[in-house]
Structure 1
């Protein structure tokens, strides 16, 4: 393939190539069946199509382009951010893919609601503690606050009693219920991040590996199901697997959600995180020892604990704007089984621009007036998606290959969840899928890591390729981080589709495990969900080229085969898959 060239820094404002009616959410843009693309030469010149194999140069240049300031952090729904989708569609067209979105277009319209908290007018405080004083918190520094209510610009709560509910988990299959015997009507629940298995360091739940019960998404959803007024998760770096700065960056400014039919009626009035330091002080105000409460929370038979006379009061003031974003969908039709599909996914979005809106200067040294370009997360994966598409275009395929660049991953895997609920091809005709997210431009490694290792026969295909190239397949070294539930493959796994999420490992050929771990730790501490996730000319794409080649090889094997890879027996998604395949018969 020709090396891509970066265009001028100034972007023209592009309009969507086509918009399609979404039959699920209450948004009705004018439908269009046009597949003609907006003139993307205003973004960058597109090279002529070639058929060379996957190259470092192309992976580098696409990553560089997608993480340029000109896309302003690839924010979904933003005028400039949505130009990313146009650029991806133009690349798919240049490569020679067929549009596979709605109404014959490249796109699937995703209705979204953007809610932006007015931090100057919003507040969170606690009172009733042993000091007898109001215990205020500073937003972003001590806490983050938001609401999932899509039908109101403001809301308030007064003297809502605090209850510590351990991990906030109701898991009947594990015999665990942190809400046992508790009526939370009018109350605010306070809970730990991760799940009891992580805290116990034994084989309970899934041991060190996070289950979905450990995810913050589940905890807030469960608090809503229980009928609480508010829900607060306590941040700790180790069980969360990221620092407080990631929380402050990810839950500030404009927050996106799908358009909900109930407008958030099933959620608590407010949701938020508090820092560990704030939590320790808060528990002391309730005459409770935080470390002792953590010990109790991991004990079987844990019962919720009232936090003395401690209550919370506060208010939110927010702007609400209904917008649209887009998934981008392209396809290479198969020759003999065109109605069977190999799926490739990557998310194109990131965090956009984060402007400081509070009065005065920011108090956090990691926070800058800047663009969150997300070079690793996920310009790399989107680059890989397109590179695989271009390489596969030169092959003869029995099955069709479906290439899906999804939006709103950073907002909770929303774009992939929307597609999984509204697929443009039946998911029981998707044979298997491969997901690419935050790939590593750190040079060659001896290994590839499979997130959620031990799940499906896709790992056997990957292992065969790695064995032939003097590499090894390894499980995720940090299963407690819950990465399996933090990327788009899980949206399809929940529908039964066998999915593979694999990336370069840590055992660098130049420097070994120590060098690989140092690189991963540095990225997580200094760049993940920060403005510092910037492209660098010093990055080494040789390892990423090998990783993408491995994924391409697995995908090509599926596309040129009649086999249907399965989940391993006993996998949590196996029964879902069997039921969906039965519908085809």
Structure 2
């Protein structure tokens, strides 16, 4: 497979460098004009569920209809509805207690001893005398030879886990992996049959950190589509954890080994947990928009280009914004990426019909927490097992030509190797994003695809300018980001230099077409946390 993959990419790179590849012409002027259109004040910051959403989706549909593309949503429609449920705890409805081997019931004060939320779609939780299992960090990472669960059966039980992940190079040192997230821990516990997850915050009850954790326990939250369907989630402090361990006869000194990889989950013998919670809910309906070019030979195999169409709205969402301008136009974030995908579709639609299908997906509610993309991943229109890759575009670069092509998540999958093979003949190179501490790979619309095992890549802004070098490029980016990111000043400007944007789009065009006209499947690197997820569906790609 590797030989076939690299051979195909190398040929594409040679054709690209020789100017013999499929004709395409990314127009900076057209891109600029389209960004200006959908970031205008009339679109009111493109907030989900508003007139701004309706206008944006109507504009997108008109573009694809003019190209002659097919609707790519469910049932032959352009739109995929995404139902976002927002939950608010009912005051006084939550309660919790634990019982030790002696049968004595110990009440837990919600908001003081514990933070408790119903985690199911009905907003209700009712747990009676559920057994407890302490599972260390709650991580199973075969690529790191790490398994906190071991052979223990947690079906019908509540799993207690430490927050975060082990320190040290095995888990990327100071930079996080996906294993540190509460969502991953909930997914893994649910996959094993647990009914709830309790996160241990290693702080005493009177600590400032724990008090801060309890302050926001009752705020309204939006449930992520596809989230683990556990009955409840809970957080406890170190004092409560010590009480449970002592009642179960566990030696707390043993728990010092949880960061070594030698620890395996242990039951809290004789200790059970009861919990009740009730929350009211309201539903916001927003929409992804999808257009499709069906593959000529293998239409059931799909490459996705994605970008989020939404931004954070206007005065209705941010009345406290100082000054007269209260519209967050989101020209850069992410009218630019939205238009980039439209322009990508325009160019690919002029090429010979590809062997595999290509979908152009405009995701909703990214600014709310990648909700549209999570919604698609939870209810995919095209099977994720045979989705070849997701190529995500969020905020096109605004500069002259660059030598570097930074990507989020360098080292995750071999899409970067394919991109490197395309960039190298042009005197360019693929690099990381320069800010690994930000964990950007887990913060844009490609991530819900990666979480489900689909190889995903997202290019970023080059800093190594052809004219001025890295020092000038980094300084300019930081100044622009600091001045306009998520501010009303993020507006279209006729002065934008879209040279780097068109160059990157050209590379992504060839990357997507190379995938669409090949038979191989990009894979995850051996050290990626997402390789094990993809491996579960290997049979679907044989």
Q: TM-score, normalised by structure 1?
A: 0.61
The match for 2:393 is 436
Of 381, 384, 388, the residue aligned with 2:340 is 384
Pairing 1:551–2:508 present: yes
The match for 1:502 is 459
> How many residues are aligned here?
482
- C-alpha displacement of 1:444: 4.2
SS of alignment partner, residue 60 of structure 2: helix
The match for 2:230 is 267
Aligned residues of 1:59 and 1:384 also touching (Cα < 8 A): no
Pairing 1:258–2:215 present: no
The match for 1:31 is none
Aligned residues of 2:337 and 2:394 also touching (Cα < 8 A): yes
Unaligned runs of 5+ residues in structure 2 are: 1-23, 97-107, 203-211, 242-252, 267-272
- C-alpha displacement of 1:386: 0.7
- C-alpha displacement of 1:518: 7.3
Pairing 1:580–2:540 present: yes
Of 406, 411, 423, the residue aligned with 2:363 is 406
The match for 2:185 is 219
Of 341, 348, 356, the residue aligned with 2:309 is 348
Q: CA RMSD of the aligned region, Å?
A: 5.8
Aligned residues of 2:31 and 2:340 also touching (Cα < 8 A): no
The match for 1:115 is 86
Deviations 1:198-220 (A, max 9, x none): x32x2x14555543312231134
- C-alpha displacement of 1:412: 5.3
- C-alpha displacement of 1:474: 1.2
Aligned residues of 1:495 and 1:576 also touching (Cα < 8 A): no
Range with bigger deviation, 172-181 or 397-406: 172-181
Aligned residues of 1:63 and 1:380 also touching (Cα < 8 A): no
State the distance in 1 between where 2:346 and 2:477 align.
Answer: 30
Aligned residues of 1:388 and 1:548 also touching (Cα < 8 A): yes
The match for 1:483 is 440
Shift of the 81–514 alpha-carbon distance from structure 1 to 2, 3 Å rule, reads same
Of 286, 308, 319, the residue aligned with 1:325 is 286
SS of alignment partner, residue 510 of structure 2: helix
Range with bigger deviation, 464-473 or 335-344: 335-344
The match for 1:192 is 163
State the distance in 2 between where 1:429 and 1:465 align.
Answer: 24
State the distance in 1 between where 2:37 and 2:116 align.
Answer: 34
The match for 1:397 is 353
The match for 2:491 is 536
- C-alpha displacement of 1:416: 3.6
- C-alpha displacement of 1:321: 2.4
SS of alignment partner, residue 388 of structure 1: helix
- C-alpha displacement of 1:115: 1.3
Shift of the 188–430 alpha-carbon distance from structure 1 to 2, 3 Å rule, reads closer
Shift of the 533–470 alpha-carbon distance from structure 1 to 2, 3 Å rule, reads farther
- C-alpha displacement of 1:385: 0.7
- C-alpha displacement of 1:382: 1.6
Of 66, 88, 96, the residue aligned with 2:68 is 96
State the distance in 2 between where 1:470 and 1:455 align.
Answer: 23
State the distance in 2 between where 1:334 and 1:257 align.
Answer: 31
Deviations 1:277-321 (A, max 9, x none): xx99999xxxxxxxx9x998644456999xxxxxx9999775312
Unaligned runs of 5+ residues in structure 1 are: 1-50, 126-133, 236-244, 284-291, 306-311
State the distance in 1 between where 2:61 and 2:424 align.
Answer: 35
Shift of the 271–519 alpha-carbon distance from structure 1 to 2, 3 Å rule, reads farther
State the distance in 2 between where 1:474 and 1:90 align.
Answer: 36
Shift of the 169–520 alpha-carbon distance from structure 1 to 2, 3 Å rule, reads farther
The match for 1:4 is none
- C-alpha displacement of 1:483: 3.5
State the distance in 2 between where 1:533 and 1:123 align.
Answer: 40
State the distance in 2 between where 1:116 and 1:380 align.
Answer: 32
The match for 2:146 is 175
Aligned residues of 1:347 and 1:381 also touching (Cα < 8 A): yes
SS of alignment partner, residue 115 of structure 1: strand
Shift of the 517–172 alpha-carbon distance from structure 1 to 2, 3 Å rule, reads farther
State the distance in 2 between where 1:557 and 1:117 align.
Answer: 47
SS of alignment partner, residue 258 of structure 1: coil
Shift of the 119–435 alpha-carbon distance from structure 1 to 2, 3 Å rule, reads same
Shift of the 68–393 alpha-carbon distance from structure 1 to 2, 3 Å rule, reads farther
State the distance in 1 between where 2:155 and 2:303 align.
Answer: 46
Shift of the 499–303 alpha-carbon distance from structure 1 to 2, 3 Å rule, reads closer
State the distance in 1 between where 2:110 and 2:40 align.
Answer: 38
Range with bigger deviation, 316-325 or 100-109: 316-325
